[in-house]
Structure 1
Amino acid sequence: MTQQADSQAPIFHAFAGHVAAALDALVAAGQLPDGLNRGAVTVESPRDPSHGDLATNAAMVLAKPAGTNPRALATLLVAELEKLEQVKSAEIAGPGFINLRLSDAAWLGELALIGAQGGDYGRSGVGAGTTVNVEYVSANPTGPMHMGHCRGAVVGDALASLLEWAGHKVIREYYVNDAGAQVQVLARSAHVRYREALGHTVGEIPEGLYPGDYLVPVGQALAEEFGDKYVEAPEAEWLALFRVRAVAKMMDMIRDDLALLGIEHDLFSSEAELQAAGKPEEAEAWLRSVGLVYDGELEAPKGKLPDDWEPVALPLFRSTKFGDDQDRPIKKSDGTWTYFGADLAYHYQKAQSADALVDIWGADHAGTVKRIKAAVAAMTGRDGAAKPFEVKLVQMVQLLRDGEPVKMSKRSGNFVTLREVVEEVGKEVVRFTMLTRKPEAQMDFDFAKVVEASKDNPVFYLQYAHARICSTLRKGAAEGFAPSAQGLELLGEEELALVRVGAQFPRLVEAAAAAREPHRIAFFLADLAAAFHAYWNVGNDRPDKRFIVSENGTLTGARLFLASQIGQIIRNGLAILGVTAVEEM
C-alpha cells in the first residue's frame, strides 16, 4: 500500500512520507523488493547546510538488503523525488546519500503550518501513548532542597515534559528514602529542637545531628502536639514517632521548595512502606527461586585488609550475570536490607505501571548504576522481555558570586538552599540555566552572570529575542499593522533562513525525547535566538530588511507573521523546559 505524505505534518515528517511514497512507487514498479525494513531510514538536515535543505540515507541503508548498490538505488529515488513540486533539486552525494533543495513555497508552507498549529507545533505522537516512569529528585527527607538537588530536579522535570510532548504518558515519581539511618538521625535532631522549644537549654547541636535552623519549627510542632511527654523518655519510646512526624514535615518543606521551580510529582513512594509491605522479601524469594540470589561471601577489599575484617556470609544477587563487576549483597550482616536490596524491589514495583523507566541521579551515585541496571533487567525480565531502563547522571553545581564560591547558608547549616537561589534570581533563570549544559558536564552557577544583560548569558539572549518580537508586534499594532499570512511570497532568503532554523523544532523534540536529553531543546532555542538576532541586526544596517516597512503594508504583515511564529516556537520550546517567555525586558 502506498504511503502518502501528510500535508499537515511538519516539513521533516512530510518528507519522510514523501521518501516512503517514493520507495513504495519503486516497489510497485518492480524496481525494489517489497517488505524491506525501513526502520533506519531518516530524513534530516545535511551536516553542511551548503549541501541542501534536507538529506535522506534511504539508498544507503536499503541498497544491501535490496541486492543493489546505494548509488543505483539513489538514482531511482532521485527520479521519484524530483517529481515533487516542493523539490527544486535532488542530488546524490558521496556513496549514496540524497540531498534535497526545497522551493521557497515549501518553507512558506511550513511557516503557515506553524501559524496554524500554534502552541501545538512540535508536539508528536511518536511515543504512541507508552508510559514512562521518570523518577527524579528523591532527595533524602532530612532538610530543605539545596542547590545540589536543583539540577537533577530541573533535568527530570524537563525530561518528563519533553516525553509528554513526544506523545508518551509520564509518571513523575519521587522515592522517599525514609527507612535508613539518616531518618533516625533526623528524629534525634528533631528531639533536640523539641526540647529547645519547651525551654530546655540544648547548647551546640551535638556532632552527627542536623544543625540547621529549619528544624526549629519541627521541634515547636512536636512540643505543641506532645507537651513534655518525651523530654526525658527513653529513645525507644519516641524515635519511631518523631521519625514519622519529622519526615512528614520535611516532605512538606521539600514539596514547597520544588513548587518554587514549578515542579510537582504525581507519585511519592515510601521506602518504609515498601519494606513494611514485605516487597524486598518477595523479591528475594523470587530471585532465589531462579538462582539469582545465593548465600556467599563478599570479595575481600583490595589492598591492605582492615584489622577487624572477616568474611561474612550474605545473600548476594548475581549481578555479574548482567554485566556488573561483582555480585552484590541485598542484606547487611545484621539482617537489615542494603539500599540496593530495597531498591531492586522498588524498581520492580514501579515497573508494574510503566513501559520504560528513567532515573535521574547525582553523579556521586555512578558506582551503583551497573548493579541497579542488572537488578531491573532481572526483575522486569521475569514477566517477559526486560523493560527499558536508563539512569541519567547529573553533575553537581558550583555556586559562585562574581567568580568566588558562595558562603554557606545559616538556615540550612551547611549548604545553600534552593529557595534562597530562586528568590534571588527567579525560577525562569534557574530552570533555563540548569539546561544550558549537558547534565554530565560540570556547571558553575554564578549569581552575577546568570542575570547579566549580555549576549554571553544564554537566558538573557533568548528572553531578549522573545521580548524583541513582542515589542515589534506592539509597535506594528500601534502603526496599524498586524501579522498576516497574506503576502508571504514577498519574504526573501534572509527571512526563509529563519524559517529553516525554526522548522527543526518538531524533529528535535522527537530526537531529544528518544535520547532522554532535554538540554537539546535549550541548545536549539539558543540557535534560534541567535538566528533571530542576526536577522534583526541586518535590519539595523538595511532599513528595507526591518520587520516594519511603513510604505509596504503587505510585506510588513508577512514579516510580522514571521516574527510571531518564531516567537511561538520560542514559547513552545520554553514550555517544554518549564520556563515562561517574557514579553518585555
Structure 2
Amino acid sequence: MPAPDTLYAQFTAKISAALTALEKEGHLPPGTPHANVSVEPPRDPSHGDLATNAAMVLAKPAKTNPRALAELIVGKLADDPLITSTEIAGPGFINLRLARQVWLGELEAIAARGTDYGRSTMGHGRSVNVEYVSANPTGPMHMGHCRGAVVGDALASLLEFGGHEVTREYYVNDAGAQVQTLARSAHLRYREALGEDIGEIPEGFYPGPYLIPVGKALAEEFGDTYQGAPESEWLDLFRTRAVAAMMEMIRGDLALLGIRHDVFASEAELQAAGKPEEAEKWLRQHDLVYDGELEKPKGKTPEDWEAVELPLFRSTRFGDDQDRPIKKSDGSWTYFGADLAYHMQKAESSDELIDIWGADHAGTVKRIKAAVEALSEGKGEPVPFDVKLVQMVQLLRGGEPVKMSKRSGNFITIADMVEEVGKDVVRFTMLTRKPEAQMDFDFAKVVEASKDNPVFYVQYAHARIHSTLRKAKAEEGVEPSGDNLGLLGEDEIALIREAAQFPRMVESAAQAREPHRIAFYLYDLAGAFHAYWNAGNDDPQKRIIVAQNAELTAARLFLSCQIGQVLRNGLSVLGVEAVEEL
C-alpha cells in the first residue's frame, strides 16, 4: 500500500471509496477486490496529474465495457474539490487533474513526515534475508566485490524503508581447498616472522603482504612450536586463525563503505553441525536425491573420465539442464551440496531469500533456485528466492585501464578506492547503472564537478539548497516558512510534483528489488531543482531570494527545504551522506 498520509495514499483511498459506492449501487459485485487498481502519474504529463486503470481492470466483474464503468467512476469523483477535472482516455483510463492545494498539502506532508517521508508499510513486516558480498576469506576486499556489496546493502536498506524486516547476511566460505591454501600461506609468513628465509612465495599460494601481520601474530602466539612440525599438527589451527584475521580485515574494508552485516554464517560450522546430511536425508525422503552416474562430458570425452556413482539432486525437475551431484567421489560435499544446505537453513527462518552474485555465477542460478524451491516446500509453499546478478566494473583513470594496487600488488582494493574518492562517491556511482549492465568506473570522472557526474549533480543540489538558506538568513534575515504557500506559482508546483513521486518510487523500486531506481530518481529531482534555481539567473523575480519580498522568499525557502528533505531521504536509502557544502 502507498505510504500513509501521502498524495497517492489519499487518491487511492478516493478511488476505492468510489468503487465501494458503486458496489452498494449494484454496479459492481459485492466484495470486488481492488488489489489490481493502480493510481499513478500518466505516461504523458500533459494528460493530467494522476491516472487510474480502475475501469480497465474491473469492467469484466462489472459485466460492462471499461468506458461505461469509467463514466460511473468519474461521476463519483465529480464533486471532489481536490479534483479540478477528469478525462476518460483510450479504452477506459481515467486521467485526473488536481487542485493546487493538493500539491501544497503534499509539500506540508514532506515537512511533517521529515525523515519518514516515503517510508512505506507495503512490506507488512515480511522477513527478507539478503545475502551479499560473501567473498572467500582469503584477502582484502577488492573491486571485484565492491559493486555487489553496494547493491546488496542498498537493496537491504530499500526493503527496510519499504516495510520489510531485513537480515543482512554474509556467507563465509571457510571450508574447502581455498582456506587450506590460506593456512599454508599463513604458515609461510609465520616461518618468515621467525626469521626463516622463505624465498619466493610458491605458485598457487596467496602472495599478498596482507598475510605478513598474520604470520607475526602466529609467531608471537606460538613461538617456533609449529615451524618444523608436520602439516597435520597445524593446518586446522592456522586455518582458523587466518580466516579470523581475514574476516576482521574484510569487516574493516566493508566498514569503509558503510556496510555492516547482521549475520556471518560459516560454511565450516554448517558442515560440522551436519546440515548437509540433514538436507540430503530430507531430499532422499522426498525423492529429490538419488544415486546415479553423471552424464558424459559434452564433446570429446577426456581419456581419464570414468563413470562414478554419486548422489544427484533432481534439478532437471525444476528446469535445470541436468541433475547435479551434491557430493564428490571422495565423499566430501560439492560446493553445490554445501550451498544447498546453507539455503535450506536460511529458508527455515525467512519469508524470502535474495542473493547478490557476480555475473560469473550465472550458470548456477537454475540449480540453486531449484534446490531452494524443493527444500522450502516443507513450509507449505516454496520460499520466494531471487538471485541478482551483478556485472564486473572496469576501472579507468582518464579513460585508461587501471590494474595495479599499492596494497596488494595485483588488484585495486576497496580501501584504495575509498581513500582516493570517498565512500559516497563509490556507493552512488555503483548505483548509477542497472547491476546487470557493464560499468566503467573512471577515477577522474567520478570526482568531476559537472552535470555529467551524477554523484556531484545530486550532492550539489542539496548543498545549493543549504547555501541558499544560509544566504537568505544572513543577507535578508528570512527563514523558511509554510505560512504563505499560496504565493507559490506554477514553476514551484511543477517541482512539488517531482518531489511527490518519491513515495511511489520507493515502493516500485522495492517491489522490483532495484535500488538503482532511487539513484535515477534523485538525479531527475536534482535536475528539476537546478533548473528551478537557474531560472532566477534570467529573471530576478524567479529567484528563491526575492529582494523586498520576505513572504515569497520564505515560501520558496520552505519549498527548497522539502526538496532537500526528499534528497536526503533518498540518499539515506542508498547509504550516501547528503552534504551541506561542496
Deviations 1:262-283 (A, max 9, x none): 1110010000000000000010
Structure 1, 31-40 or 341-350: larger mean CA deviation:
31-40
SS state of the match for residue 379, structure 2? Answer: coil
- Deviation at residue 413 of structure 1 after TM alignment: 3.6
Equivalent residue, structure 1, for 2:485: 488
Match of 2:213 in 1: 217
Structure 2 residue 513 is the aligned partner of structure 1 residue 516: yes
1:410–1:535 CA distance, 2 compared to 1 (3 A):
closer
2:551 corresponds to which residue?
554
State the superposition RMSD in angstroms. Answer: 1.2
Aligned to 1:144: 140
Residue correspondences, number: 581
Supply the distance in 1 between the matched residues of 2:502 and 2:389 (Cα, whole angstroms): 25
Q: Which residue of 2 aligns with 1:242?
A: 238
The answer for the alignment partner of 2:501 in structure 1 is 504
Output the TM-score relative to the length of structure 1.
0.98
- Percent same amino acid at aligned positions? 74
Please list the CA deviations of residues 349-388 of structure 1 after superposition, one character each: whole Å capped at 9, or x if unmatched: 1112211111011111110000000000011112210111
CA distance in 1, matches of 2:45, 2:202: 64
Alignment match of 1:409 (pick from 405, 418, 426): 405
CA contact 1:280–1:342 (8 Å) conserved in 2: yes
**Any residues of structure 2 matched to 1:170-185 within 5 Å, and which?**
170-185=166-181
Instruction: Tell me which residue corresponds to 1:311.
Output: 307
Q: In terms of mean alpha carbon deviation, does 277-286 or 8-17 score higher?
A: 8-17
Structure 1 segment 316-465 matched on structure 2, within 5 A: 316-465=312-461
Structure 1 residues 44-55: aligned runs within 5 Å: 44-55=40-51
Q: Which amino acid aligns with 1:95?
A: P
8 Å contact kept, 1:196–1:202? yes
Separation of aligned partners in 2, 1:20 and 1:157: 36
One-letter code aligned to 1:487 = N
8 A Cα contact 2:181 2:205, kept in partner: yes
Moved more, 251-260 or 531-540: 531-540
Q: Which amino acid aligns with 1:493?
A: E
Q: Is the 8 A contact 1:213 1:410 kept in 2?
A: no
1:385-422 CA-partner distances (Å, limit 9, x unpaired): 01111000111111111111113224324211100100
Q: Is the 8 A contact 2:2 2:504 kept in 1?
A: no
Q: How does 1:67-146 map to 2 (within 5 A)?
A: 67-146=63-142
- Compared CA separation, residues 357 and 500, structure 1 to 2 (3 A): same
Alignment check: 8 A CA contact 1:211 1:413 kept: no
Structure 2 segments unaligned to the other structure (5+ residues): none
Other structure's SS at 1:72 match: helix
CA contact (8 A) 1:6 1:17 kept: no
- For residues 2 and 188 of structure 2, the distance between their equivalents in structure 1, rounded to whole angstroms, comes to 67
1:58 partner amino acid: A
| Contact 2:2-2:121 at 8 Å conserved across structures | no
Task: Please point out which of 37, 42, 59 is paired with 1:41.
Answer: 37
Separation in 1 of the partners of 2:406 and 2:118? 45
Unpaired runs of 5+ residues, structure 1, are none
Partner of 1:29: 25
CA contact (8 A) 2:288 2:314 kept: yes
**How does the TM-score come out when normalised to structure 2?**
0.99
Q: Are the counterparts in 2 of residues 136 and 361 from structure 1 also a CA contact under 8 Å?
A: yes
Secondary structure class of the residue paired with 1:382: helix
Q: Is the 8 A contact 2:28 2:61 kept in 1?
A: no
The alignment partner of 2:405 has SS state of: coil
Counterpart code for 1:557: A
CA distance in 2, matches of 1:249, 1:191: 13
CA distance in 2 between counterparts of 1:83 and 1:372 reads: 55
Give 2:497's aligned amino acid: R
Amino acid at match of 1:568: Q
Shift of 1:442: 0.6
Distance in 2 (alpha carbons) for counterparts of 1:567 and 1:432: 17
- 2:183 maps to which of 179, 182, 187: 187
Q: Which amino acid aligns with 1:372?
A: I
